[in-house]
Structures are given as C-alpha cells and as structure tokens.
A and B are shown apart, each in its own frame.
Chain A
C-alpha cells in the first residue's frame, strides 16, 4: 500500500515536471492540428463559424484548381533538382574542410555564415545579385562575353535561380556532415592505406558508407524544407508594377506554401488552405517513409 502510494506520487511528480510541455503540446500542437483537419472539410473564413462541405475542398483542389497542380510541379522541381545538388555540394564542402588545411576554422565559419543571416535579408540581397542589368552574376557573365538570362523575371530561369541561391545556404548541412566525418574511426583509413587504397577508393569505400546515416538525415530534413519552401520566393517573386501576387513570372515560382498562404490570408479561404496543409502533410509523410524504407538498402549503421 505504502509502495503503491509512493509510485503514484512519483508519477504525479513526473507529470508535473513535464506538464509545461504536455500543456503546450495539447494547446499549441495537437488542438490546432485536429482543428485544421476538421476545418479542411469546411468553408471557413476564420472570422465566422465554419460550414461543413465534406470533401468538396479536396475535390476542387484535385480536379478544378490549375494553380494547385502548378504549385505541386514547381515544388517537386525544387525537390528533384535542387535537393540532390545541395546535398552533393554540402558534402564536398564538408570533405574539403575536413582536411588539414590552413585557416580551417576560418573557412568553416565562412561557409556556415550565410545560414545565420535572416532569410528575409538574404532574399533582399539575392534580389540584387540576380538583377539582369546590374546584378553580380550577370556582370561576371558579361566579363566573359555571356549575356546572362533574366533570372527571376524569366520563367525559364526563375527556379534555377532559387536552386543557386539555396547552394549559398548549405552551411547547415555542411556542419552536420563535418560532425559525421569526424565520427569515422581513423583506423579504417589506416587499414585501407596499408592495403594500398588511394583517396578515391577511401572516399567511396569508407567515407560514403560510413556517412550514410548522416546523408539520410540531411536528405530527410532537406526534403521537408524543400516541400515547405516559402520565405525567399514570398519576398522575391512579387510581380513588378502590377497586382500579381507572389509566384511570378507566369506562376513559375508559385510554390505550394505560397499558394496555401494566399488562400488562407488573402482570399479568406482558411478551410481550403487547411485542406492544402493536410495534403502537404501526407505528401511529406509519404516521402519521408519512402526514404526510411529505402534506407535499409543503402544506410549502414556501425555494428551492423
């Protein structure tokens, strides 16, 4: 009896200690989550009470909203072309900065620096870098005799522009790779050297396999951030001089989250936006699960 009461009070104490998180989770995560699920089946302008419309919103998205499909295409473009490039570049940087070079700490700081610049500030900066007339990129291209494209004002180059811009911000992934690289036991390389392996062989046979858990981590985080791509295009893609909402030119940078935001906060379509949010959630879930599933085949954990 005494022991039982003791146990009981332990539980209460434990719950009391964790209660800030529990209450926060219930009020600010679980409730909004469930509420948005309910709202996704309603017509809701966030001021008046929602009206039930069943799956009408979802049906409209899939069958009667061309912008929805355009935004999915644009977003997947970033995922398929932008993400692998970011992963490769950040890995290469990490490998280079893992060598014993002079000013190692300085270069590591230099490449990490862009990630601590506020997203809005760097967006404003890149707006100028991509300027077709006065921008840094086109000025450099002009030096070698190339007439640079219109970048953000040209629908063919606007998404590649964002991919280039994202490469500037790979510092975060790079630091994670660096940590992973330093976790690779030195004796593996020593053993390989004794066997006469060159650096290529060491890279492909030791570094990459030992790094696969880190690659998986960066891959999943990167995929999620690409699917939620918002801040930079929101700042950088307002049509100039017209009342075109973000996503210009010709909807070529209308990413999923931009369309969601527009529906929710400019057009009073909170129910519709909730449906979009849940579709995005399922999409992220499916992609993440698929990556995890596939990881059994290519990710090696130590001790396996």
Chain B
C-alpha cells in the first residue's frame, strides 16, 4: 500500500515536472530569406541553438522570393517573432513605417553585443534615426574577378589586373571576341550597378548631414555617362542579345564560370562558385578600378539582417536568438557554411574562418578601408535604387542623356522623401 502511494506521488511529480518544462519552452517563429542548400545549412546551425537553449525552440520558415509577405503579415498582426528576410536596404523603410521594434534596450543590457565589436560602417548601417533596428549575422563585399587563362591567351600579364578605368577599358577590348558573323562570343567585362559606379567615380548619392538627395552629383553623372559609352562602343543590340543569353548568375551557367565573360563583379561567394561550378577555373580578384579623381578600393556592403517585428509576444526569446546568431558563435558558424563576410571584426579576422574561406582576406581590406559604403539611411532607399536601375537602363539601353536622367531621379526621390518627413 505504502509503496503504491509512493509510486503514485513520484509519478505525479514526474508529470508535473514534465509539464512545467513543456510550459516554459517558448516556441518562436523565424522567417528567413535563405533558401535551397543554404537553408539546409542554416537549419543545422539553428538546431545547435535549440540544443543549447532548451527553453526556446526556433521554428524556421523560408519566404525566399516572397518577401512581400512580411509586410502584410506584420500589418495583419501575424508576423514572425524574428525575421532575417530583410535586406539592409529595406531596414530604414521598415523602421520608419513602424514595422520593427528597436533593439536598443536589449543591446544596452547585453554582454555579447557591443558596437565596437562590429566594423564601424556596418554598425552604422543598423542605425536609423538614432536607434538600432537590426543586427547582421553575415554581410558581403564586392570586387572584380578575372579569368587568368583568358589574360594569358590575349597576351596580357595574368598577375597584373587593370588598375585604372583606362586600363580596364583597354583590357576589356583585348579580351572581347567576335565570331565571323559579327556576333559576340566573349565579352571582356560588363560594367553595371550605378550605385557603386557613382561612388567609384567620386560621386555621392546623398548629403547625410543636410538630407539632400544628390543623384545628379557630377561623379554620378560621369559614372552613368561612362556606362552609356561602354554600351555604345560594343553596340546596344549586341550587348542586349549577348547578355540575354547569360545563364542565371546563381547557377553553373553563370557567364563568368562558363567563360562568356572574362571579368565580372563578384563577392566572397566567388570562391564557393568556383569550387562548385568550375574547379578548373584559374581566377584572380582586383578592386574596381577608379578614374582619376575617383575613389580607389570601393566596396558596397549589404546583406540580410535579423530584426524583431512589432506585435510579437516573444520579443525576449527572439532577442536571445538574435544575440546568439549575430554573436561570435553564430557568425563564425555562418561564415563557414555560407562563405559570407562576418560583420564582427574579430570573427572576420579569426584564423580559422580565414583558413576556411581565404577570399575573405581580400574583402576585409576593402571593408576596413575608407571607401566601404552601406545602404543610405533613408526610408525611400528601395525606390531610390529602383530609380537608379531605371536610369541605368535608360542611358545604357535607351541612349538617354545621363545628366538629364539623373536630374529626374533626384526630383522623383526628393518628392517621395519629402512626403515621409
């Protein structure tokens, strides 16, 4: 009889304990923009967090390619507890429109996160109107890659990539090939990306002190002019048709990997690309060449960031997850599986990380230099970039006049920006 009672009590206690731990376990939903193989890698890293934090369970959902869902979900009060399907370029807009919770109080109380741990330019990019709205676990830098075999074939020094814009133009001409019918079979280089090229030509897109939109800065005009001249030299129709035959950038048919381009803009992922898609490729990298009076060693950086949307009941648990995945442990793991640049200085310089992803050394120099640029902290930045893209198209494909086109961009963005002030 006595024994029976004992058993019963023990049994009850076990039940109670089990249920109380089950109650204490917080399930948080996490929406990511990573998909495919990267999503699988990410899930392995997240499982480690779940193991290490028995009181929290992170449920990962990918919304790859459907980022618009986030806005409607938040508006409907059904948003995730943590989201990283946000590009740095969207951060200011989301913060401005009240979609996110500021992280300041958590950061102030945290022993893991301190502003000094991050590259200064990157830390600044998490900031909008004096608050920190998100933290990154990864970022990326950009530069140019060149095919050494093609350099040798054209009689060029394979260890000496172009240093100036003039050299870049000359090398591009030498590396470009046409067939008997006058069709392009290989292009030396395809410049593009007006935001970065404007910076390379010494331009600025905004005066951050006065808030003035400076799309028609002489440097930006010169850059756009140069892009337009490039397209004219090779023929708009030729380039249009040739580039339309390019395979998806993020695939084995990437034009640099299959030899349709002798030089192409890349980031850290180049190393993984080469290993996966073309192991025989002999390549080198160099910073984007600048014209006289322009900026040397420019890189822009961006990438997805982790944030807590408004309306979640589990903000504290969400923060614990963000603190871990953007902390030294999480960043190191992600740097290795994604081969992305870590935003923390110590992780980026960690010998173990550099050994796993040697190309990071190159980006590191750019990121530590004076010409590393992040997204502009304005809520109309997405639209600004879209207008830049349209302007680039209008000048390169449509033969429009650079100065006039950029004046239009300035007017459009100024109007939109003013509405939000």
Contacts and interface: CB of A to CB of B under 8 A. Distances in A.
Nearest to A134: B245
Interface string A239-276: 11111110011110000000000100111100000000
B9 interface: no
B97 interface: yes
Contacts of B386: 243-245, 262, 266
B369 interface: no
A244 B240 contact: no
Contacts of A45: 97-98
B331 to A, nearest CB: 27
B10 interface: no
Contacts of B249: 241
A131 B244 contact: yes
A67 to B, nearest CB: 9
B398 A267 contact: no
B192 A242 contact: yes
Interface string B302-320: 0000000010000000000
A152 interface: yes
Contacts of A242: 192-194, 389, 392-393
Given A132-B241, A153-B244, A265-B71, A241 B192 contact: yes
Interface string B293-336: 00000000000000000100000000000000000000000000
Please report whether the interface of chain B is mostly helix, strand, loop or mixed according to DSSP.
helix
A154 to B, nearest CB: 6
Contacts of A48: 97-98
B397 A249 contact: yes
A85 B63 CA distance: 38
B105 interface: no
B397 A155 contact: yes
Interface string A197-209: 0000000000000
Contacts of B310: 47
A152 B244 CA distance: 9
Contacts of A250: 393-394, 397-398
Interface in B186-225: 190, 192-195
A116 to B, nearest CB: 23
Given A155-B397, A242-B193, A133 B389 contact: no
Contacts of B244: 131-133, 150, 152-153, 240
Nearest to A251: B390
Contact of B68 (A64, A243, A265): A265
Interface in A199-255: 239-245, 248-251
A266 B15 CA distance: 50
B61 interface: no
B237 interface: yes
A159 interface: no
A152 B240 CA distance: 10
B28 interface: no
B64 to A, nearest CB: 14
B329 to A, nearest CB: 33
A46 B245 contact: no
Nearest to A270: B75
Contacts of A244: 386, 389-390, 392-393
Contacts of B245: 131-134
B388 A243 contact: yes
Nearest to B194: A242
A243 B240 CA distance: 16
Interface in B66-106: 68, 71-72, 74-75, 93, 97-99
Contacts of B390: 244, 251
Interface string A86-123: 00000000000000000000000000000000000000
B57 interface: no
Given A48-B97, A133-B242, A150-B237, A239 B393 contact: yes
A190 B393 CA distance: 61
15 contacts: A46-B71, A46-B75, A64-B415, A131-B245, A134-B245, A150-B237, A153-B244, A240-B244, A240-B246, A241-B243, A242-B192, A244-B393, A248-B393, A249-B393, A262-B386
Interface of B: 68, 71-72, 74-75, 93, 97-99, 190, 192-195, 237, 240-246, 249, 310, 379-380, 382-383, 385-386, 388-390, 392-394, 397-398, 415-416, 419
Given A244-B386, A244-B393, A266-B68, 7 more contacts: A150-B240, A152-B244, A241-B243, A243-B386, A243-B388, A250-B393, A266-B383
Interface of A: 43, 45-48, 64, 131-134, 150, 152-155, 239-245, 248-251, 262, 265-268
